[in-house]
Amino acid sequence: MTDIKKLCSLFDRYAHDKNRAIAFTEMLDSFLLPFKFCATKQEQEVHLAQLTSQPKQEELFSFLEELGECSQHFCDPLGEIFMQEVSKGHNGQFFTPEHICDMMAQITAVNIKDGQSVFDPACGSGRMLLAVAKVNRHVVLYGADIDEVCVKMSVVNMLLQSLDGEITHMNTLTNEFFKGYCAGSTLYNGYYFPWYKQFLDPVKSSVCQMNQNKSEKSSQPANIIPPTNMRQGSLF
């Protein structure tokens, strides 16, 4: 695990006079601002202006810069800070240790091919998806979680690694959909630039539709055996 002492110290500087949960969410929202897909240059300039007008800008930018350094090689420092400084295990929010995620990915996705898909129905900060990306970064990653902060952490982790897929804020058990984020990257002048699109229509969500199809198949009569796989790829 990457040493995050400096990152924790920078978070303390930003959050010392704030509610820590609110401060953490503010940081996530600030990180997401410049990566939102914009239809016009004017819209992009509005988002950038929001970012540069943030209070405690120096502390915020120092944190985000260090976050990028700590997130190299598909690490998840955000999840560690969230557990240590924000959730502290509330509602059972302890994420699977990274080395366990790596082991599970090696066992489950060792033969996964480019373009195949992986779905984590309770993705937390997205570290299981990051573990799969260590095996093959050219897969399509899908995640869902009922906690919106966890969803935003997963989206940030996808952007930090320029990964493709969808993270959905939803109740996976009931298929109640709240919000979705589609993440991708564009190759420009030899560099990959990550972006995301936010949407509110469940029909646009591959995760929601996939989960709905699974629910419909599970309600079939017992003498009808549904297909083993919902879609090509691995499923956690």
Tell me the whole-structure pTM to 2 decimals. Answer: 0.88
pLDDT in tens, 175-231: 999 999 999 998 888 888 999 999 999 999 998 887 777 666 655 444 433 333 333
Residue 18 CA to residue 6 CA, distance in Å, equals 19
> Looking at 129-133, 160-164, 219-223, which range is the least confident one?
219-223
Structure tokens at 227: 């297909």
Domain boundaries, the chain: 5-91, 98-235
User: What count of Cα atoms within 13 Å lies in the side-chain half-sphere of residue 198?
Assistant: 14
The CATH code of the domain at 98-235 is 3.40.50
